[in-house]
Structure 1
Amino acid sequence: MPEPVTVPKATWMEQTRDAFRSLSSLNRPRYWLVTRGPAWLAAFSLLYVVGGLVLGWRTAYEVLVGLQPPRETDVPAYAYVLGLLGWLLVPAVIGGAAGYLVTRQIDRRRTVDAEELLAQMRRQAGGLANPPQVRE
């Protein structure tokens, strides 16, 4: 009788590799949040913490949300960087999240599959004729 085959246990490196490779099964926003989001959040947090230490916590927050102009702070060069970050990044993140949520709600309420809708439109159009030949 043959000996049973034993499969060696996966090492922690192989398990980590497999977990990272399985991320591709996520949809785009979730994949971005898991793979790219932490780096962006860390960079944003680092800039805010440095701004809090350099400018003061209240001033850094007010510059970030646009309540105080950067030129009126103790370190205007850094305040301009923080203000620009708040002006560009915060609305982009909020807009992206809102767009994602609206798209999910639209997809959830969609009753007709996109392919079926396209086929229905083609049937109603009576088929598309070939374009006329160009004579020279």
Structure 2
Amino acid sequence: MEQTRDAFRSLSRLNRPRYWLVTRGPAWLTVFGLLYVVGGVVLGWRAAYEVLVGLQSPGDTNVPAYAYALGLLGWLLVPAIIGGAAGYLVTRQIDRRRTVDAEDLLAQMRRGAGHLADPPQVRE
């Protein structure tokens, strides 16, 4: 019991995306999967997939009300998941290649431009 408690408390050490994936991700994935499975049973697997990714109109299915809900889910959730994953991976690659701190880089650029300090403030 204590090991489970300690493992749960140690999740706060994770960065934001990993923390979200571990704590909130399974619930979202379960709901998403459940809606897709119900859509597969009600609409047919091919129709559920095509409505989810936007290849087929929800109005052209056997149960348009459910298909509209599934289509809305796909329209909102699928791009968010793909965009979030792509953004996270791009940020990781940028951070991995960054060898100079942003403040040091700004100081280098200022020295290269020929001025060492910020311009004086103008008083009105």
Q: What's the TM-score bracket when you normalise by the shorter of the two chains? A: 0.7 to 0.9
Q: CA deviation at 1:18?
A: 1.6
Structure 1 unaligned spans of 5+: 1-11
Query: CA separation in 2, counterparts of 1:127 and 1:55?
Result: 67
Give runs of aligned pairs for residues 1-136 of structure 1, distance below 5 A. 12=1, 14-121=2-109, 123=111, 125-134=115-124
Q: CA deviation at 1:82?
A: 0.4
Q: What TM-score, normalized to structure 2?
A: 0.87
Q: CA deviation at 1:93?
A: 0.6
Query: CA separation in 1, counterparts of 2:14 and 2:88?
Result: 14
| The 10-residue stretch of structure 1 (38-47 or 115-124) with the greater mean CA deviation from structure 2 | 115-124
Between structure 1 and structure 2, the one with the greater Rg is: 1
Q: What TM-score, normalized to structure 1?
A: 0.80
Query: CA separation in 2, counterparts of 1:127 and 1:70?
Result: 61
Structure 2 unaligned spans of 5+: none
Query: CA separation in 2, counterparts of 1:129 and 1:112?
Result: 24
| Structure with higher helix content | 2
The size of the alignment, in residue pairs, is 122
